[in-house]
Amino acid sequence: MSTTAETLRYAAFTDAGAGGNPAGVVLDATGIDAARRLAIAAELGYSETAFVEPTANDGTYRLRFFSPRAEVGFCGHATVATAVAIAERHSPGVLRFDTAVGEVVVRTTADDTGILATLTSVPTHTRPATADELAAALTALRYAEADLDPRYPPHVAFAGNDHLVLALRDRAALAALDYDYAALDRLMAERLWTTVHLVWAEDALTFHARDPFPPGGVVEDPATGAAAAAFGGYLRELDLVPLPARVTILQGADMGRPSRLLVDLGTRAGGVDVTGTAAPIE
């Protein structure tokens, strides 16, 4: 039983070895209670830290996530970081994570560039944002309805957590993001949204994204695997991309941490595959 924890630091969803989203990973959190896990996450200061508990079954782990403020049901980038850390210490293969939102399967493979991890989310679903939700979000984000791209309707998309999806007409509006942190924090707490997934479509299969993340105690997340999975489910359910498809999400560039997330969509409903790399932070 572990009562002290070695916290590893990884950047997940790096782009050509740079950028990515930092995550903490505690590979054996057995015996560490929730209060201590929250304290570790707060001390580290990343948007999420993953806490792993081995089980009696090889390749199967209990996995919980904590932001500096609270436990989070699911976190994509910390899952990828955890999978890569385990694969580096054992060998690539299939990992099964028992999370608060259900089982998440991650396949790890190795090539000349390192270890690649592909997570399959829980089944996705999406619904239109209400008029009140949209009005409150736009006010907090300091955008107007005229800033939105009408090809992509405002929705609340789910892949383990809820994410408000808003598409902007042009890249400049995305780059100019400057929102009311307190107002958006209150709205997201009320609606139980994990991030707001703001996107701009470079083309039909390439999107630039920014993710305000007040629930995690940070202004913005540089790479958000859970939001990428939810967005993929949204694109599939609303027939916004030809299927099957691989969607590329470029995130974090506006905050100096370029990140690349690959989202694979099949023709059947269910989970969404999100692929990325992770590297230790020296």
Catalytic annotation present for 48: yes
CB contact at 8 A, 11 and 22: yes
Q: What pairs with residue 210 in β-bridges?
A: 198
* Cβ(254)–Cβ(205) below 8 Å: no
Distance CA 244, CA 28 (A): 38
Exposure letters 72-103 (e unless 16+ CB within 10 A, then b): bbbbbbbbbbbbbbbbbeeebeebebebeeee
**Cβ contact 213:219 at 8 Å:** yes
Measured on CA atoms in the order 17, 19, 23, 26, is the torsion positive or negative?
positive
Select which of 6, 48, 53, 282 is catalytic. 48
Residues near 21 by beta carbon (within 8 Å), at least 6 away in sequence: 11, 12, 13, 47, 77, 221, 222, 223, 224, 252, 257, 259
**Environment class of 179 (CB within 10 Å of its CB; exposed 0-12, middle 13-18, buried 19+):** buried
Cα-Cα end-to-end distance for the chain: 27
Closest of 74, 60, 64 to residue 37, by C-alpha: 64
Q: Tell me how crowded residue 111 is: count the other CB atoms within 10 A of its CB.
A: 9
Query: Catalytic residues, which ones?
Result: 48
